[in-house]
Amino acid sequence: MTAIIVDVCTMLDSRAHLWCLIILANLTRLPSNQWNLVARHPSLIPTLTFALSCKQEETRRFAAYTIQNLSMNSRVRDELADSCTLLKILCKSVVLGDVSASNGESLASIATLKNLVSDASNIFKMLNAPVFLKNLTVVALRAEAFVTDDMQFMACDTLATFSHWLDRVSRTPLLKEEKYVKVALPTHQNVGWKTWEED
Protein backbone atom coordinates (compact mmCIF):
# COMPACT_ATOMS: atom_id res chain seq x y z
CA MET A 1 0.00 0.00 0.00
CA THR A 2 2.76 2.45 0.87
CA ALA A 3 4.43 1.76 -2.49
CA ILE A 4 1.32 3.10 -4.22
CA ILE A 5 1.29 6.15 -1.94
CA VAL A 6 4.95 6.89 -2.75
CA ASP A 7 4.28 6.51 -6.49
CA VAL A 8 1.25 8.81 -6.44
CA CYS A 9 3.28 11.55 -4.69
CA THR A 10 5.14 12.21 -7.94
CA MET A 11 1.95 12.63 -9.99
CA LEU A 12 1.55 16.38 -9.62
CA ASP A 13 -1.31 16.49 -12.10
CA SER A 14 -3.35 14.20 -9.83
CA ARG A 15 -5.25 15.70 -6.90
CA ALA A 16 -4.41 12.60 -4.88
CA HIS A 17 -0.69 13.43 -4.71
CA LEU A 18 -1.21 15.96 -1.92
CA TRP A 19 -3.27 13.50 0.10
CA CYS A 20 -0.54 10.90 -0.32
CA LEU A 21 2.04 13.38 1.01
CA ILE A 22 -0.24 14.13 3.96
CA ILE A 23 -0.50 10.38 4.64
CA LEU A 24 3.30 10.04 4.50
CA ALA A 25 3.74 13.01 6.83
CA ASN A 26 1.43 11.33 9.33
CA LEU A 27 2.99 7.87 8.89
CA THR A 28 6.44 9.29 9.66
CA ARG A 29 5.21 10.79 12.90
CA LEU A 30 5.59 7.30 14.39
CA PRO A 31 9.36 6.77 14.92
CA SER A 32 9.24 3.04 14.15
CA ASN A 33 7.87 3.80 10.67
CA GLN A 34 10.68 6.16 9.70
CA TRP A 35 13.44 3.67 8.93
CA ASN A 36 11.02 1.04 7.64
CA LEU A 37 9.63 3.40 5.00
CA VAL A 38 13.07 4.40 3.75
CA ALA A 39 14.42 0.83 3.79
CA ARG A 40 11.42 -0.65 1.98
CA HIS A 41 10.97 2.13 -0.55
CA PRO A 42 14.26 3.29 -2.10
CA SER A 43 12.35 5.81 -4.19
CA LEU A 44 10.95 7.60 -1.12
CA ILE A 45 13.74 10.16 -0.66
CA PRO A 46 13.93 11.05 -4.39
CA THR A 47 10.12 11.33 -4.40
CA LEU A 48 10.14 13.70 -1.43
CA THR A 49 12.97 15.68 -2.98
CA PHE A 50 10.90 16.05 -6.14
CA ALA A 51 7.84 17.15 -4.13
CA LEU A 52 9.91 19.66 -2.13
CA SER A 53 11.03 21.33 -5.35
CA CYS A 54 7.59 21.72 -6.97
CA LYS A 55 5.69 24.99 -7.33
CA GLN A 56 2.68 24.08 -5.19
CA GLU A 57 3.08 25.44 -1.66
CA GLU A 58 1.02 22.75 0.10
CA THR A 59 2.94 19.99 -1.65
CA ARG A 60 6.25 21.50 -0.56
CA ARG A 61 5.02 21.97 3.00
CA PHE A 62 3.94 18.35 3.55
CA ALA A 63 7.06 17.05 1.81
CA ALA A 64 9.09 19.18 4.23
CA TYR A 65 7.16 17.80 7.22
CA THR A 66 7.80 14.24 6.05
CA ILE A 67 11.51 14.86 5.54
CA GLN A 68 11.71 16.56 8.94
CA ASN A 69 10.18 13.50 10.61
CA LEU A 70 12.51 11.16 8.73
CA SER A 71 15.53 13.20 9.82
CA MET A 72 14.77 12.44 13.46
CA ASN A 73 15.90 8.84 12.89
CA SER A 74 19.69 8.50 13.11
CA ARG A 75 19.76 5.69 10.51
CA VAL A 76 17.85 7.80 8.00
CA ARG A 77 20.00 10.91 8.48
CA ASP A 78 22.88 9.49 6.45
CA GLU A 79 20.50 8.63 3.61
CA LEU A 80 19.15 12.19 3.63
CA ALA A 81 22.55 13.86 3.95
CA ASP A 82 23.92 11.76 1.08
CA SER A 83 21.46 13.37 -1.33
CA CYS A 84 23.17 16.52 -2.61
CA THR A 85 19.99 17.54 -4.43
CA LEU A 86 17.91 17.29 -1.26
CA LEU A 87 20.43 19.32 0.76
CA LYS A 88 20.47 22.00 -1.93
CA ILE A 89 16.67 22.24 -1.96
CA LEU A 90 16.45 22.26 1.85
CA CYS A 91 18.94 25.12 2.02
CA LYS A 92 16.85 27.11 -0.47
CA SER A 93 13.62 26.27 1.37
CA VAL A 94 14.99 27.90 4.52
CA VAL A 95 14.40 31.33 2.98
CA LEU A 96 11.21 30.61 1.01
CA GLY A 97 8.99 32.03 3.72
CA ASP A 98 6.14 34.45 3.24
CA VAL A 99 4.92 36.99 5.78
CA SER A 100 1.32 35.91 5.23
CA ALA A 101 2.09 32.19 5.50
CA SER A 102 2.71 30.08 8.56
CA ASN A 103 6.24 29.36 7.31
CA GLY A 104 5.73 25.64 7.84
CA GLU A 105 8.02 24.76 4.95
CA SER A 106 10.85 27.04 6.09
CA LEU A 107 10.63 25.94 9.71
CA ALA A 108 10.52 22.25 8.72
CA SER A 109 13.56 22.76 6.46
CA ILE A 110 15.52 24.45 9.24
CA ALA A 111 14.52 21.68 11.67
CA THR A 112 15.66 19.05 9.16
CA LEU A 113 19.05 20.74 8.76
CA LYS A 114 19.30 20.93 12.56
CA ASN A 115 18.61 17.21 12.85
CA LEU A 116 21.17 16.40 10.14
CA VAL A 117 23.83 18.55 11.79
CA SER A 118 23.38 16.76 15.10
CA ASP A 119 25.45 13.91 13.60
CA ALA A 120 29.11 14.92 13.37
CA SER A 121 29.56 12.68 10.33
CA ASN A 122 27.38 15.05 8.30
CA ILE A 123 29.30 18.30 8.83
CA PHE A 124 31.41 17.96 5.69
CA LYS A 125 28.35 17.13 3.62
CA MET A 126 26.68 20.26 4.97
CA LEU A 127 29.72 22.39 4.13
CA ASN A 128 29.37 21.26 0.52
CA ALA A 129 25.69 22.18 0.42
CA PRO A 130 25.24 25.48 -1.42
CA VAL A 131 24.14 28.44 0.72
CA PHE A 132 23.80 26.28 3.89
CA LEU A 133 25.62 28.74 6.15
CA LYS A 134 24.46 31.83 4.26
CA ASN A 135 20.73 31.10 4.49
CA LEU A 136 20.86 29.97 8.11
CA THR A 137 22.77 33.14 8.98
CA VAL A 138 20.14 35.26 7.20
CA VAL A 139 17.44 33.64 9.34
CA ALA A 140 19.52 33.83 12.54
CA LEU A 141 20.07 37.56 12.02
CA ARG A 142 16.40 38.10 11.07
CA ALA A 143 17.50 39.75 7.86
CA GLU A 144 14.14 38.98 6.22
CA ALA A 145 10.66 40.04 7.33
CA PHE A 146 9.16 36.53 7.16
CA VAL A 147 11.46 35.15 9.90
CA THR A 148 9.56 34.13 13.05
CA ASP A 149 10.96 33.68 16.55
CA ASP A 150 10.84 29.89 16.16
CA MET A 151 12.72 30.05 12.88
CA GLN A 152 15.37 32.33 14.34
CA PHE A 153 15.87 30.13 17.41
CA MET A 154 16.11 26.97 15.32
CA ALA A 155 18.60 28.57 12.91
CA CYS A 156 20.76 29.77 15.82
CA ASP A 157 20.62 26.31 17.41
CA THR A 158 21.63 24.70 14.10
CA LEU A 159 24.56 27.08 13.66
CA ALA A 160 25.64 26.52 17.30
CA THR A 161 25.59 22.74 16.84
CA PHE A 162 27.49 23.05 13.57
CA SER A 163 30.13 25.31 15.13
CA HIS A 164 30.43 22.91 18.09
CA TRP A 165 31.39 20.07 15.75
CA LEU A 166 33.83 22.28 13.85
CA ASP A 167 35.37 23.36 17.16
CA ARG A 168 35.81 19.72 18.20
CA VAL A 169 37.45 18.93 14.87
CA SER A 170 39.77 21.94 15.15
CA ARG A 171 41.02 20.91 18.60
CA THR A 172 41.49 17.18 18.09
CA PRO A 173 44.89 16.70 16.44
CA LEU A 174 47.07 19.64 17.34
CA LEU A 175 46.93 19.99 21.10
CA LYS A 176 49.11 16.95 21.80
CA GLU A 177 52.48 18.62 21.19
CA GLU A 178 54.06 20.51 24.08
CA LYS A 179 54.15 23.88 22.29
CA TYR A 180 50.39 23.78 21.61
CA VAL A 181 49.10 22.47 24.93
CA LYS A 182 48.60 25.88 26.57
CA VAL A 183 47.40 27.70 23.44
CA ALA A 184 43.80 28.88 23.64
CA LEU A 185 41.92 28.64 20.36
CA PRO A 186 41.12 30.76 18.48
CA THR A 187 44.37 32.72 18.80
CA HIS A 188 43.18 35.78 16.80
CA GLN A 189 46.75 36.23 15.56
CA ASN A 190 47.66 37.16 11.99
CA VAL A 191 50.21 34.91 10.34
CA GLY A 192 52.47 35.95 7.48
CA TRP A 193 55.25 34.30 5.51
CA LYS A 194 58.73 35.24 6.79
CA THR A 195 57.67 38.81 7.48
CA TRP A 196 60.39 41.37 8.23
CA GLU A 197 60.48 43.38 11.38
CA GLU A 198 60.03 47.10 10.83
CA ASP A 199 62.16 49.62 12.74
Which residue ranges make up each domain of the chain?
Answer: 2-172
CB 105 within 8 A of CB 60: yes
Report whether pLDDT(145) > 90.
no
CB 49 within 8 A of CB 85: yes
Residue 122 has, within 13 A of its CA and on its CB side, a CA count of 27
Q: Which CATH class is domain 2-172?
A: mainly alpha
- Exposed/middle/buried for residue 128 (C-beta within 10 Å: 0-12, 13-18, 19+): exposed
pLDDT tens digits for range 61-71: 999 999 999 99
Per-state percent for the chain, helix, strand, coil, to nearest 5 = 65, 0, 35
Rounded to whole angstroms, the Cα distance separating 178 from 111 reads 41
CA 43 to chain centre: 20
What residues contact residue 135 under an 8 Å CB cut-off, 6+ apart? Answer: 91, 92, 94, 95
Entry pTM: 0.84
pLDDT tens digits for range 80-90: 999 999 999 99
Residue 146 has, within 13 A of its CA and on its CB side, a CA count of 16
pLDDT tens digits for range 87-117: 999 999 888 766 545 568 999 999 999 999 9
